[in-house]
Amino acid sequence: MPDYRDFVPRQNFQPTLALSPDASTVAYSSNASGHFDLWTVPVDGGEPQQLTRLADQAVRQIAWAPDGKSLVFTADREGDEQYRLYRIGLGDEGPIEISSGHDCQRFLATSPFDADGRFLVYAANDRDATVQDVIIRDLAEDLERRIQPPVGVVFEPVEISPNGQWLLAGGFRSNSQVDAYLIDLQDASAEPVCVTAEHGDGFFAPAPWAADSSGFYLRTDLWGEYTSAAFYRLDTRALEPVARHDWDVEHIDVAGDTLVWSVNEDGRSVLHARHGQNTARLPTMPPGVIAALTTGPAAEPIVVLLNTATRPTEIAVLDPVKGFRYLTDARPPALSVFEPVEPEPVIYPASAGRTVHALLYRPASPGPHPVLLSIHGGPEAQERPMYLRSGLYQHLLSRGIAVFAPNIAGSTGYGAAHQKLIYRDWGGPDLDDLDHAVRYLQAAPGIDGDRIAAMGGSYGGFAALSCLARLPYRWAAGVSLCGPTNLVTLARACPPTWKNFVATVLGDPETHADHLTQRSPITYVDAITAPLFVLQGARDPRVPRAEADQFVARLREHGVDVRYDVFEDEGHGFTKRENELRAYEEVARFLCSHLR
């Protein structure tokens, strides 16, 4: 029978792709070397080339210079989320740092260069740790123009208009409150102008410019619960619907007069394209999730980072001549002897007449099966049919353990109302949805409702700990990967630029301290009796190690069986391949020992 490592993909990817200006080469970030380095591969297929060898850093964002001779990228060190900027030529031996000043959070614009490659656009909180400014760097003169956001707004630059007049930026107040801003690049004294304010307080996330600079595309919830694609026209200030579905539009890209967008249909990405006013035919793509998308001229080719439930994340190409094809092959050896399991969609009842969408992975062996209740992070994220946790799901399935992954209150993908249910109410409706998940599993055919474990990472870790501490079930085990145990500490330790986000989504640690304490797992730690595995990064900038230390110590004082693994060179999650594999290998052993 294959071991856990037999299910591990040959490489993992960061959710970033960059297609060279001549559409011949794709740049990406992969940990095939053991760390997330910068790689390139020809679109027509061929041997990948490794451009960087970063022993203790991880490449996060990538962009080509307009001449196609060099790339810029961001990287942080050991998961500290303090990103620096680098530039590397295709023939260079190593990258050159182009950021200046002290450590801070720097984020490249979605398309960071102007048409001539003279100006580089990024965001940084170097001036004030609580404020994310936009910086326009003149690479020829080594000068900078800084644009400060309005109070309470976090700027994320998107793209300079093709005619060079405007810089488009998103202004975030929370994940569901986003505006589009225009910055006049021909007037150095001009203030940023919010061009979507007249349409109300909602979601207006800017996307690419039209090729003629007449306006830009964006995603918005203006017309209902789900996110649509729209076009903002500069001359009339009109907002025009472009694509409306009964699901969320998730990606938008433009190539000349060709528009490409993907729709999240109950977790799976469905790709669409249009040439002018005519629908374009696209090659058939395996059902899965698009993590990143980029297009060449006239959308030929379209390059995606695609993850499916039965095949790990891969770079794939869609073109009208050769159809759909993979550029990479990360499939692990176990998939040659084990038939991977596709999840079945489930809808179960919750309180107040609501329903919750979930994915149920059933082993092929006869039941009844023990089950892992797997809770996604975020909380504003979504459980989707993907090859998750470096093969952990499929390994557990091969050992006869089912996996149930619900999209509880707070999840995206099922409308704005569902997403906002837990704003300032963590551990409320979300925990109630998890309670109903257990009830569903206890009645589900083929499931052993007396053998249930809970697992999650980040917010999911908080939710898993809340299950063990606050729900009245005899849990078989629990796993928390960098999960917050104290919501007051979490709110105070968040990145400085997230202050307003946290106050909106979680709660203000000063004015809502009592409520946050009442919902924190540490408050109920004495109620936990199930065996628990806690994994923590020593350099985690969001969930301080001391918080996990305290939680584990309290459990051990009461005789609870706790395993505690601290990764000294990791932050909030894993950047080093060997650390990730060791972590999930031990998680697999832990779960199998308590569920089988």
Report the CATH number at residue 522. 3.40.50.1820
User: Based on the domain organization, do 246 and 367 belong to the same domain?
Assistant: no
Q: pLDDT tens digit string along 247-258?
A: 999 999 999 889
Assess if residue 295 is contained within a domain: no
pLDDT, mean of residues 140-162: 92
User: Based on the domain organization, do 351 and 234 belong to the same domain?
Assistant: no
Query: What is the CATH classification number for the domain harbouring 29?
Result: 2.120.10.30
User: Based on the domain organization, do 56 and 167 belong to the same domain?
Assistant: yes
Count of beta carbons in the 10 Å neighbourhood of residue 548: 25
Assess if residue 504 is contained within a domain: yes
User: Based on the domain organization, do 15 and 155 belong to the same domain?
Assistant: yes
Q: pLDDT tens digit string along 232-245?
A: 999 999 999 999 99
Q: Please name which of 582, 526, 534 lies closest in space to residue 559, comparing C-alpha atoms.
A: 526
What percent of the chain shows pLDDT beyond 70? Answer: 100
User: Rounded CA gap, 292 and 112, in Å?
Assistant: 16
User: Rounded CA gap, 543 and 592, in Å?
Assistant: 27
Q: Which of 232, 252, 272 is the last residue of a domain?
A: 252
Count of beta carbons in the 10 Å neighbourhood of residue 581: 16
Q: Please name which of 245, 241, 130 lies closest in space to residue 494, comparing C-alpha atoms.
A: 130
User: Based on the domain organization, do 584 and 457 belong to the same domain?
Assistant: yes
- Domain encompassing residue 225: 9-252
Per DSSP, 99 falls in state -
Describe the crossing of helices 459-470 and 429-443 by its angle, rounded to 10 degrees.
Answer: 70
437 CA to centre of own chain: 24
Q: Which of 252, 287, 309 is the last residue of a domain?
A: 252
User: Based on the domain organization, do 571 and 451 belong to the same domain?
Assistant: yes
258 burial type by CB count under 10 A (0-12 exposed, 13-18 middle, 19+ buried): buried
Assess if residue 422 is contained within a domain: yes
Q: Cis link prior to 521 (omega < 30° from 0)?
A: no
Assess if residue 358 is contained within a domain: yes
User: Rounded CA gap, 299 and 301, in Å?
Assistant: 5
Predicted confidence at residue 26, as pLDDT, reads 97
Is residue 2 very low, low, confident or very high in pLDDT (cuts 50, 70, 90)? Answer: confident
Q: Which of 211, 227, 252 is the last residue of a domain?
A: 252
93 CA to centre of own chain: 31
The predicted model scores a pTM of: 0.90
Assess if residue 156 is contained within a domain: yes
User: Based on the domain organization, do 224 and 348 belong to the same domain?
Assistant: no
- Angle formed at CA 50 by CA 47 and CA 52, multiple of 5 degrees: 170
Whether 377 and 388 have beta carbons less than 8 Å apart is answered as: no
User: Based on the domain organization, do 41 and 186 belong to the same domain?
Assistant: yes
User: Based on the domain organization, do 355 and 248 belong to the same domain?
Assistant: no
Task: Say which residue, 310 or 174, is predicted with more confidence.
Answer: 310
User: Based on the domain organization, do 576 and 440 belong to the same domain?
Assistant: yes
296: enclosing H helix or E strand? none
What's the length of the chain?
596
State how beta strands 447-457 and 477-481 pair. parallel
Predicted confidence at residue 501, as pLDDT, reads 79
Q: pLDDT tens digit string along 121-147?
A: 999 998 988 889 999 999 988 889 999
* Structural domain count, the chain: 2
User: Rounded CA gap, 324 and 286, in Å?
Assistant: 9
Predicted confidence at residue 189, as pLDDT, reads 86
Residue type, 295: T
Tokens standing for residue 550? 């305290």
Count of beta carbons in the 10 Å neighbourhood of residue 187: 9
Q: pLDDT tens digit string along 170-229?
A: 998 887 889 999 999 998 888 999 999 999 889 999 999 999 999 999 999 999 989 999
Residue 89 has φ and ψ, to the nearest 5°, of -85, 160
User: Based on the domain organization, do 483 and 353 belong to the same domain?
Assistant: yes
SS3 at position 352? helix
pLDDT, mean of residues 476-496: 91
Q: pLDDT tens digit string along 86-125?
A: 999 998 888 999 988 888 899 999 999 999 999 999 999 9
User: Rounded CA gap, 483 and 490, in Å?
Assistant: 10
